[in-house]
Copies of this chain bind each other. A is one copy, B any other.
Amino acid sequence: MTEPSGNAAIGVAVLGLGNVGSEVVRILREHARELEARVGAPVVLRGIAVRRIEGDRGVPAELLTTDADSLVTRADVDIVVEVIGGIEVPRKLILAALNSGKSVVTANKALLADYTGELAEAAENKRVDLYFEAAVAGAIPVIRPLTQSLAGDRVNKVAGIVNGTTNFILSAMDETGADYADTLAEAGRLGYAEADPTADVEGYDAAAKAAILASIAFHTRVTAADVYREGISKITSADLEAAKSLNCTVKLLSICERVNGTDGSERISARVYPALVPLDHPLASVNGAFNAVVVEAEAAGRLMFYGQGAGGSPTASAVMGDLVMAARNRVHGGRGPRESKYADLKIAPIGEIPTRYYVNMQVADRAGVLSAVAAEFAKHDVSISTVRQEGIGNGAGLIVVTHRATDAALSETVAALGKLEFVTAVTSVLRLEGSSE
């Protein structure tokens, strides 16, 4: 297909031989000639760091090592691919690799959400590459479009479904009417949820990705601690039922947005929560374990990127793209985009963020209830869009959808509603996203 390039080989070390690592190794070995043609030099696998060497891992035994520290600083390694997961171990290995002048490709969103600054500075000092397309939304190109394709535009909002586990659960709840606990158990049986699902269902994974997306979209360092976070574990089948009655579905969204601060200055918001999404919004039809990211930019308008957000093969595709780019830079000179944090915008607290809300409450079925409830919303300057009354007697339900209001005003309203004598319970409060009213 192609002549050997004649250039010196690019040595690659892979840390971790799980789903992603195995697929990266497979592609490196099976597509060696194609990769050489694309890079302009042979791309050679020097070693694979694993925790234990036992049994047949499907790769030549001489490539395996438990000594990751030595592997990442080996003289014949140019690029280190980190797909171990965790934070402290990969952090030290990546820093060691960068400080030894190796370029690094990682899929580790939890690490990046907290330590991008430190890692980017190490890469900058040694003038090497730090690529991490695989950290957000698996195979879907999101990092590169934001850092490169939209580099001359002004991004105003990024809103995405970037966690497959929660999207699988919410899609299944929407489809079957089953409750959260049963659906989570089923997701576990099918391999869509881990034994300890906390990182996914409580939104930590989505928040880490939101931190990464906000950092690059707004040229500001954003860490996981800056991201407001609610998970899906309190979502009920009643919420999905109510969402349907409002022509919506429920999705766990990671949202990064430019907002006006209360002092008029430009701020940014990064937040993760389950929200009602109108059925005609492009994110509403992203079901199962799929991911999608919608980007709104000043000149480009609204863009959407859709695909498989997790799994060994899709994640490996993103890792391999980064690896080829890092290798090309080694051969031809140049570097990929470095960290951009010049804008240094402040994070707006969640209380200042205006969205629409859905409030579901149980009320006594008595004359004047609706008027009293409406008065409470008005008192806190929260304008009501629609009200739906359901059932009769003390189990009567009242569903209120508001116009845009700040989180603070809504929280005060809900607290006040809870004190009203004829409001038995405020059973659910969710935000409504993707609607302009």
Contact = CB atoms under 8 A, between A and B. Distances in A.
Interface residues of A, number: 59
Given A152-B317, A152-B323, A321-B152, A342 B299 contact: no
A320 B282 contact: no
B152 A27 contact: yes
Contacts of A340: 37-38
A206 interface: no
Interface string A1-27: 110000000000000000000010001
Given A34-B154, A303-B139, A334 B337 contact: no
A321 B149 contact: yes
Contacts of A133: 149
Contacts of A152: 27, 31, 35, 38, 317, 319-324
A325 B23 CA distance: 31
Determine which residue in A153, A297, A318 has the highest number of CB atoms from chain B within 10 A of its CB, and name it.
A153
Contact of A342 (B1, B145, B317, B318): B1
A393 B90 CA distance: 76
B300 A139 contact: yes
A282 B38 CA distance: 30
Contacts of A320: 151-153, 299
A150 interface: yes
A316 interface: yes
Copies in the complex: 2
A307 interface: yes
A329 interface: yes
Contact of A333 (B151, B316, B333): B333
A140 B303 contact: yes
A303 B306 contact: yes
A148 interface: yes
Contacts of A318: 149, 300
Contacts of A52: none
A149 B321 CA distance: 5
A313 interface: yes
A144 interface: yes
A383 to B, nearest CB: 32
Interface of A: 1-2, 23, 27, 31, 34-35, 37-38, 133, 139-141, 144-145, 148-154, 219, 282, 297-308, 313-314, 316-325, 328-329, 332-335, 337, 340, 342-344
